Amino acid sequence: MTSFVGEGLDGLGVVDVIANHDEPPAEVGVAVRPPEVCAATYVESPFLEEALEAFPKSDGGLSGEEGGLADLGVGQRWAVGLADVFSRVFEFLTRDCRAGLGSYERSPAVASPVVQAVEEFVGYLERRGRGTYTSRSYRLGLGNFGEWLAGKSIELAAVSKTDVEAYIDRFARGLDRGGQARAARTVNHRLSVLASFFGFLIERDTDRGGVWAGRTSPVPAMTTEPTHGMGGGGSAPPRRPRAELRRREPRAEPKVLSDDQVSALIEGARSWRDKAILILLSQSGQRIGDWSAEHGRHGILGLRLGDLDRRRSAMIVLLKGARDQHRVPVTDTFWQAFDTYRDQERRDATTDAAWVGLRRGWPEPLTYSAFEAALRALSARTGVPVTAHMFRHTVATHVVATAGVAVAQQLLGHAHVGTTVDTYAHVDHQAMAKAIAEIERRALNANSEPSYAFHYSPSTLAELEAVTAPQRAGGDSR
């Protein structure tokens, strides 16, 4: 399954609807925190799919904002409302969760030791200024680890290095989702989550006493074995050793869209709101962002009406992280689409959010989950595989090639130019082809007959050949 549309969930007592957008659709979970329950209950997608299995399926169905759900399966839609969905989910949660992390009851529930430790760790992260996205990601990752511990009947206090190795092996090979292996980056992130979690437990118990006081983390540390290869010359740093279980992450070229694909997506959008947003994505290179009570506002979806400056033909975007303000130019093409959206679709919505939901979502601010559902539907209609972040990659690649790294860094809002260089500043294909052609030309010239600057008679050429032949062979003519 993929992810739920996030509008209207707070009234049902649901805080987090989580989707890992770097993974295939199966990598989805839900963290349910009803107001009556102090601790979270973690439910990975297999359990949630079991809860939804009895739901009626519709070939046509309702999609996106109309149906209240994003696509829940390949080529299949679920024509059900959010209230019905979560009433069924809550019904299933009254049983013991397979994750072993507690169960949902409408009366207060006692959290398991894993849940207590995870929530304390997440609180520790939040007190140190970590963002809500980080907290959500760590909570989901540790929930998956807790599910595995429960399945193996392993207490948190008894976790060993061997246990972590077994879990990471299963996680990497995707044995919990039909053998669909996970990307190296995802595996390394999960290792970082576990390392941080157990580091927190050791520090906490060392300070106040507990089972983890003075213990070594079960997450394998950096290896002491020699690394493959040597450091480069000059100022190039030597290669750092990897942790034992970390995977080598292959460099992947950013996925970009062609001009025809961008045009097809904009033309295929069914609302002027979506057309205007797609124009901003394809021209500004800014992140799609979000507008939510939990994560605040940032990116294009976080724009307020006052952030759109028609006089300067610019917009002020809040960047990810510290939410710094970032001014970016916009074009006349955008203003034309925005004006039509404002007059025909946004109308008299009282919120200061620039983008509002349509139909059932009106007049509330448009959330990321609702826009992503609309984008997936657009992708299916047009046949263009697309994510919102592909627009950013497309703009960045073009700007680096035409205006240079410095301009791209400013446009993208990267704090460090190294981020721009590492991701986008690669030698283009034409430059590599030209260099290879030059190598081939030099090789052919080296094997060809010698040429001379002047026209000589045959007898003179014979004498010159007699002199130069031994030199070409590496000998001495004397």
The more confident residue out of 206 and 320 is 206
Region 220-242 average pLDDT: 50
Here the CATH number for the domain that contains residue 394 is 1.10.443.10
The answer on 58 and 170 residing in a single domain is yes
Region 355-366 average pLDDT: 90
What is the span of the domain harbouring residue 455? 450-478
- Residue 217, pLDDT > 60, answer yes
Q: Model confidence at 52, in pLDDT bands (50, 70, 90)?
A: very low
Which pLDDT score, from 0 to 100, does residue 313 have? 95
The answer on 35 and 162 residing in a single domain is yes
242 is a domain residue: no
248 is a domain residue: no
Give the pTM.
0.61
DSSP classification of residue 470: H
Region 113-139 average pLDDT: 90
The answer on 263 and 196 residing in a single domain is no
Which pLDDT score, from 0 to 100, does residue 245 have? 85
User: Which positions ≥6 away from 11 have C-beta within 8 Å?
Assistant: none
416 is a domain residue: yes
Distances from the Cα of 133 to the Cαs of 15, 16, 26, 140, 321, in angstroms?
Answer: 13, 10, 19, 11, 10
3-state DSSP assignment of residue 401: helix
Q: Model confidence at 238, in pLDDT bands (50, 70, 90)?
A: low
Region 308-327 average pLDDT: 90
The more confident residue out of 106 and 354 is 354
The answer on 163 and 29 residing in a single domain is yes
3-state DSSP assignment of residue 228: coil
Which pLDDT score, from 0 to 100, does residue 230 have? 42
Cα gap 391→251, rounded to integer Å: 19
Structure tokens at 65: 């904002």
Domain count, the chain: 3
277 is a domain residue: yes
Which pLDDT score, from 0 to 100, does residue 72 have? 33
Region 147-151 average pLDDT: 93
The answer on 465 and 406 residing in a single domain is no
247 is a domain residue: no
252 is a domain residue: no
The answer on 146 and 37 residing in a single domain is yes
195 is a domain residue: yes
The top-scoring range by mean pLDDT among 129-133, 233-237, 330-334 is: 330-334
Q: Model confidence at 133, in pLDDT bands (50, 70, 90)?
A: confident
The more confident residue out of 168 and 132 is 168
The answer on 203 and 311 residing in a single domain is no
| Residue (of 47, 200, 52, 38) closest to 111 by Cα position | 38
The more confident residue out of 335 and 27 is 335
Cα gap 341→323, rounded to integer Å: 27
Torsion angle of the four alpha carbons 169, 173, 177, 178, in this order, in degrees rounded to the nearest 10: -130
Which pLDDT score, from 0 to 100, does residue 249 have? 84
